Amino acid sequence: MASGAAQMGARVVLIEADKMGGDCLNSGCVPSKALIAAAQRAHTFRHGGLGTAGSAPQVDFPAVMAHVRATIAAIAPHDSQERFEGLGVRVIRARARFASDREIEAGGQQIRARRFVIATGSRPAIPPIPGLANTPYLTNETIFGLDALPRHLIVLGGGPIGIELAQAFRRLGAEVTVIEAASALGREDPDLAQVALAGLRAEGVEIREKAPALEICGSAGAVEVKTEAGTIRGSHLLVATGRTPATEDLGLDHAGIETHDGAVKVDAHLRSSNRRVYAVGDVAGRGQFTHLAGYHAGIVLRALALGLPARLRSDHIPRVTYSDPEIAQVGLTEAEARALWPDIEVIRTPLAGNDRARAEGIDAGLLKLVIRRGRPLGAGIAAPGAGEMIAFWALALAARHKLSAIAGTVLPYPTLSEISKSAAGTYFSPKLFANPWIERMVRLVQRLP
Ligand SMILES: Cc1cc2nc3c(=O)[nH]c(=O)nc-3n(C[C@H](O)[C@H](O)[C@H](O)COP(=O)(O)OP(=O)(O)OC[C@H]3O[C@@H](n4cnc5c(N)ncnc54)[C@H](O)[C@@H]3O)c2cc1C
Ligand SMILES: NC(=O)c1ccc[n+]([C@@H]2O[C@H](COP(=O)([O-])OP(=O)(O)OC[C@H]3O[C@@H](n4cnc5c(N)ncnc54)[C@H](O)[C@@H]3O)[C@@H](O)[C@H]2O)c1
């Protein structure tokens, strides 16, 4: 947002209280994906397959963490103070707070501006479970600082953070138990979630669902979580039970900025109840993804720099959980679509029928397509690399393409992505084959000289 505005010629002040790059770079997407990549190597090595023998990987945990830190360091220059200053942004490294409806205070400086954008993100939500506050626990802010592999990691919460890290730590050699109050990956289509969860369970991750934690106790190296179904004992506890928008101590009341469920309340243009102030990313309460924050920034930039307000859309925003297999979704799931329309069609294409999947020895995987009146409303994929494969459907939904455009696209053979074209083909097959009108036409054409 700040770099875009500066490059378009606006005068910009960027205020950052902590590390440049925010959660995604320092304690979110980047370290988690680097850890997952190392864990994937260990897993491939351990299992071999397709005629190659597996063997116990020699996991050097400090070296894995060095890879995580090196990945952050390699990406950091893009978000650095130096880069922003080079673009002409004035950077202040301090905590910001609204002093009035058009003034911010940060590090003893008063900044008066025509427009403000709140992009303060979110922080881990810590549930009020008896004993938790007195027990040592990890969050995404501390887990990437570990220097030794936990013997037994208990993960509280089976959302994307819990599931991604549970599988990674298991693959690196830890015993892992996930304790989930409701259903693991509960926001995803259950058919797709099951593919990923079955994969985790087969690798030895214990996932206890419908098991809210009742009480927690312990000390460093020995923690206990009590549930109705029994007590789980482990060496470390990761709390991954959701996130809270970072609005505390922002002085929002000084600026007449309203909140809703802890997030800055915004309209369809991401404008808050104070017309000078916008909110983007996690703090806007419309979803918590880096690419969504980037999309928000584009909407606000258009309005602020060019005076071209745009309405927020949400029907084309993809999301991916980087388990193995990955789960990717864009648009509506089957349940979401059924709640809106009675006349939807659902196409399920198992990955097992795909030639590349056969060659790779992939037997689990599924694409689910939700269609209404010839247009895709949503696509969900559970497969290795599903996050790459969903790009195709993200474009289809963003551009509001018809399914015929997908069926008419030529994709390279043999690729896993071909299941998307094959699913679109399944939709048209009954209309083309065993259709008396088409059969009559073909007979007619064949009589032509
Ligand atoms: C473990 C984990 C893995 C994730 N993986 C993915 C993923 O793979 N893909 C994906 O799309 N998303 C992922 N996310 C979510 C993603 O990290 C967030 O959606 C994204 O970082 C939100 O960006 P943001 O700009 O809203 O906030 P942030 O990146 O959190 O940035 C907010 C910044 O504001 C600063 N700040 C806060 N308050 C103040 C203040 N008062 N004054 C000055 N500065 C302040 C903070 O220090 C921070 O640097 C993951 C999150 C976690 C925790
Ligand atoms: N790959 C990605 O894009 C990615 C990865 C990680 C995080 N994120 C973002 O960060 C957000 C937060 O992730 P998250 O996994 O922390 O949150 P989440 O809200 O998605 O999942 C938290 C889980 O914890 C469970 N839970 C809550 N209280 C509990 C309790 N007391 N005992 C047991 N279980 C409990 C909930 O039922 C839920 O399933 C995600 O929704 C996502 O938007 C994205």
- Ligand 1, residue 122: give the atom nearest the CA: 30
Q: pLDDT tens-digit profile of 201-228? A: 999 999 999 999 999 999 999 999 999 9
Tell me, what's the pLDDT at 230? 95
pLDDT of 435 reads: 83
Cis amide prior to 127 (ω within 30 degrees): no
Cα(124) to ligand 2 centroid in Å equals 9
Q: Is 132-242's fold the same as 319-433's?
A: no
> What's the pLDDT score for residue 429?
82
Nearest atom, ligand 1, residue 140 CA: 1
Cβ 350 under 6 angstroms from ligand 2: no
Retrieve residue 257's tokens: 């900025």
Share of the chain above pLDDT 90, in %: 93
| Rounded Cα–Cα distance for residues 417 and 381 (Å) | 10
Report the half-sphere exposure of 17 (CA within 13 A, side-chain side): 13
Look at residue 444 in the predicted model and tell me its pLDDT.
87
Q: How many CA atoms lie within 13 A of 381 on its CB side?
A: 28
Q: Whose CA is nearest to atom 1 of ligand 2?
A: 321
* Tokens matching residue 190: 């259950």
Query: From the CB of 6, is ligand 2 less than 6 Å away?
Result: no
Nearest residue (CA) to ligand 1, atom 36: 120
Could you please state the CATH topology (level 3) that the domain comprising 132-242 is classified under.
FAD/NAD(P)-binding domain (3.50.50)
Residue-level pLDDT at 439: 84
Index of the ligand 2 atom closest to the CA of residue 127: 31
Nearest CA among 41, 32, 34, 33 for reference residue 59: 41
Decide if 284 contacts 260 (C-beta within 8 A).
no
pLDDT of residue 431: 79
pLDDT at residue number 225:
98
Ligand nearest to the CA of 20: 1
Between the CA of 162 and the centroid of ligand 2 the distance, in Å, is 7
Can you give the pTM of this predicted structure? 0.96
**CB of 312 within 8 A of CB of 286?**
yes
Ligand showing the shortest atom-to-Cα distance for residue 21: 1
The verdict on the CB of residue 365 being under 6 Å from ligand 1 is: no
8 Å CB contact between 263 and 285: yes
The span from the CA of 429 to the CA of 90, in Å, is 59
What residue segments make up the domains of the chain, in order of their start? 2-121+244-306, 132-242, 319-433
Closest CA to 195 of 412, 381, 390: 381
Q: In CATH, what number does 319-433 get?
A: 3.30.390.30
CA torsion angle for 305, 306, 309, 314 (degrees, to 10)?
A: -70
pLDDT string in tens for the chain (449-residue length): 899 999 999 999 999 999 999 999 999 999 999 999 999 999 999 999 999 999 999 999 999 999 999 999 999 999 999 999 999 999 999 999 999 999 999 999 999 999 999 999 999 999 999 999 999 999 999 999 999 999 999 999 999 999 999 999 999 999 999 999 999 999 999 999 999 999 999 999 999 999 999 999 999 999 999 999 999 999 999 999 999 999 999 999 999 999 999 999 999 999 999 999 999 999 999 999 999 999 999 999 999 989 998 999 999 999 999 999 999 999 999 999 999 999 999 999 999 999 999 999 998 999 999 999 999 999 999 999 999 999 999 999 999 999 999 999 999 999 999 999 999 999 888 877 878 888 888 888 898 88
ipTM entry: 0.98
Name the residue at shortest CA distance from atom 31 of ligand 1.
22
Burial of residue 373 (CB within 10 Å: 0-12, 13-18, 19+) is: exposed
Ligand 1 test: best mutation among 120, 140, 167, most atoms within 8 Å of CB?
A: 120
Residue 269 to residue 323: CA distance in whole angstroms: 33
Q: How far apart are CA 20 and CA 16, in angstroms?
A: 7
Is the shortest distance between the CB of 290 and ligand 1 below 6 Å?
A: yes
Helix/strand/coil for 243: strand
User: Looking at residue 189, what is its pLDDT?
Assistant: 98
Distance CA 189, CA 327 (A): 9
237 lines ligand 2 (CB under 6 A): no
Q: What is the mean pLDDT of the chain?
A: 96
2-121+244-306 has which CATH code?
3.50.50.60
End-to-end CA distance of the chain: 65
Which ligand is nearest the CA of 287, by number? 2
Beta bridge partners of 369: 347, 379
pLDDT of residue 287: 97
Q: Residue 428 has what pLDDT?
A: 87
Pairing of strands 175-179, 152-156: parallel
